[in-house]
């Protein structure tokens, strides 16, 4: 790894990464530590867009990693260290998680109040904030077909099942409400919230878009990395409805429940595909341990009557006994 001469005087240690093509290094300095981010692919998205969105968040008084120094020509940048422990580590052993989760619901509402144009300027770059629309929803759920269903469904009927399930998803996605759009982080889960001195910091914001109010709420409440009770899920959803000013009357609250369920199903179908891809393409089989719980989340949301057709089609395409298996061959 090539680094700037100004960093060579410090102790640099590689730390655990995420599901992306990035590497992270902790730089120990006299008065604390910083993080060096190295992008092995897609420098513009993983470094420049990330730094630009972080700057937008900071301007809106949201704790995000500040850019300390750029090394973009070397596919790297140095950013602020928001802490060594994630919200997942912070809350997983607590009996009463509600008060901690309430703070994250408030953080989502704060994100949703961000005012931004179609693009943001960052140094000499123009960053486009795209809409998380019907096309994007299908692009994401296609990962389920191309990786999960292809490897764990009935192979002879793959194309047929893909087409018919995709048509049903299209019907469901068109039910979503986009009259009120907002800033959407798009990966708002327990491992992307850092905790330092009881202050929460938001990382991994490079995929932010302008989208549905309930997307980040669904990402948090139906997070595949941490198991919380149905009661807590319901409490958090209702707490969000009680605190946001963007969802007002009973009719809108009813529609919000359907939007929440559709977006949760869409996201978790996508994650099934991503985690199988991480195993088969990137040889990161550790993510397969989450498959059984992802299906539990899906089955919970598929109880909504709007999913009667989708539930039938998924049951037909994937044997219920096989869907929670985690023994995908990496080769």
Per-residue pLDDT of 172-201, as tens digits, reads 999 999 888 999 999 999 999 999 988 999
pTM of the predicted model, to two decimals? 0.92
Domain with CATH 3.90.1200.10 in the chain: 86-317
pLDDT for 8 equals: 65
CB burial of residue 66 (10 Å; 0-12, 13-18, 19+): middle
pLDDT for 328 equals: 53
pLDDT for 254 equals: 82
- CA atoms of 188 and 223, how far apart (whole Å): 9
pLDDT for 247 equals: 87
Helices 230-243 and 250-280 pack at an angle, to 10 degrees, of: 130
Do the Cβ atoms of 80 and 35 come closer than 8 Å?
Answer: yes
* CATH number given to 86-317: 3.90.1200.10
The beta-strand segments (E) located in the chain are 11-15, 22-29, 32-39, 67-71, 76-80, 85-86, 119-122, 125-128, 181-184, 193-196, 199-202, 209-212
Do the Cβ atoms of 149 and 162 come closer than 8 Å?
Answer: yes
Residue ranges, the chain, pLDDT below 50: 329-331
Q: How far is CA 75 from CA 11, 22, 91, 300, 316, in A?
A: 20, 10, 34, 42, 46
Domain with CATH 3.30.200.20 in the chain: 5-81
* CATH number given to 5-81: 3.30.200.20
Q: Which residue has the tokens 């500040």?
A: 66
- Measuring CA to CA, which residue among 45, 81, 31, 86 is closest to residue 200? 86
pLDDT for 330 equals: 44
pLDDT for 3 equals: 59
Q: Which residues contact 213 (CB under 8 A, 6 or more apart)?
A: 112, 180, 181, 182, 244, 246, 247, 256, 259
- What own/partner pairs with CB < 8 Å and gap ≥ 24 does 309-314 have? 309/168, 309/171, 310/165, 310/168, 310/169, 310/172, 310/265, 313/161, 313/164, 313/165, 313/168, 314/165
How many other C-beta atoms are found inside a 10 Å radius of the C-beta of residue 169?
A: 22
- Measuring CA to CA, which residue among 119, 114, 136 is closest to residue 246? 114
């Amino acid at each position: 790894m090539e680094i700037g001469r100004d960093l060579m005087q410090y102790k640099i240690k590689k730390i655990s990464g995420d599901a992306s093509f990035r590497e992270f290094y902790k730089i120990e300095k006299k008065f604390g530590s910083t993080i060096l981010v190295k992008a092995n692919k897609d420098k513009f998205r993983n470094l420049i867009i990330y730094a630009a969105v972080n700057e937008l968040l900071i301007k809106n008084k949201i704790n995000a990693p500040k850019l300390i120094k750029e090394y973009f020509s070397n596919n790297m940048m140095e950013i602020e260290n928001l802490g060594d422990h994630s919200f997942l580590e912070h809350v997983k052993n607590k009996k009463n998680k509600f008060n901690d989760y309430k703070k994250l619901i408030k953080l989502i509402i704060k994100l949703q109040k961000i005012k931004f144009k179609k693009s943001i300027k960052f140094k000499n770059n123009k960053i486009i904030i795209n809409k998380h629309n019907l096309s994007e929803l299908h692009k994401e759920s296609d990962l389920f077909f191309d990786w999960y269903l292809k490897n764990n469904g009935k192979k002879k009927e793959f194309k047929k099942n893909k087409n018919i399930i995709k048509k049903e998803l299209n019907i469901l996605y068109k039910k979503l409400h986009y009259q009120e759009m907002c800033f959407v982080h798009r990966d708002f889960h327990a491992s992307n919230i850092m905790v330092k001195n009881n202050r929460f910091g938001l990382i991994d914001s490079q995929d932010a878009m302008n989208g549905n109010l309930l997307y980040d709420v669904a990402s948090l409440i139906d997070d595949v990395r941490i198991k919380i009770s149905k009661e807590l899920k319901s409490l958090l959803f209702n707490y969000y409805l009680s605190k946001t000013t963007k969802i007002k009357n009973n009719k809108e609250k009813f529609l919000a429940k359907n939007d929440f369920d559709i977006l949760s199903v869409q996201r978790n179908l996508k994650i099934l595909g991503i985690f199988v891809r991480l195993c088969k393409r990137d040889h990161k089989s550790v993510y397969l341990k989450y498959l059984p719980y992802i299906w539990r989340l899906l089955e919970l949301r598929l109880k909504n009557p709007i999913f009667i057709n989708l539930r039938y089609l998924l049951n037909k395409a994937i044997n219920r006994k096989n869907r929670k298996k985690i023994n995908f061959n990496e080769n």
